Amino acid sequence: MADQGSTIPTGVAPAGATDDERLKGAIAYVLTWLTGIIVLVIAGDNKFLKFHAFQSIVFGVIVTIVVFILSFVCIGAIVGFVCWLYMLYGAYLVYSGKPFRIPVVAEFVEKNLLK
């Protein structure tokens, strides 16, 4: 679920994000890694957009791999759909100005990709 903690790095807190930035951040989650890459390209130096784009890309790649593996036992589509609904929930939170952090993925993004 979304962690409402205060460990969001400086510049990523939604309180300082404009409506345009929140909209672009929400769009990053709609089609996971695909829209995440598009938002990453247009993000420039914006840490808020980069965080949400990278988080969407990393989670999307993980889900794509898991769904591919689980498709051999006929539950991949269900898992993929549930994960997509979770991403839409994240898009809603980001657009609403609330923090959205995917456990483990958010920490990975902060430590390895936001430098």
Structure tokens at 115: 């430098």
pLDDT at 10: 43
Domain count, the chain: 1
Q: Tens digit of pLDDT per residue, the chain (115 long)?
A: 444 444 445 445 566 899 999 999 999 999 999 999 999 999 999 999 999 999 999 999 999 999 999 998 889 999 999 999 999 999 999 999 999 999 999 999 999 998 7
Tell whether 58 is covered by a domain: yes
CA distances from 14 to 31, 60, 77, 100 (A): 21, 22, 32, 9
What pLDDT, on the 0 to 100 scale, is given for residue 12? 57
Structural domain of residue 73, as residue ranges? Answer: 18-109
Whether residue 11 is contained in a domain is answered as no
Give domain status of residue 12, yes or no.
Answer: no
- Measured on CA atoms in the order 16, 13, 81, 109, is the torsion positive or negative? positive
pLDDT at 27: 97
Residue 40 included in any domain: yes
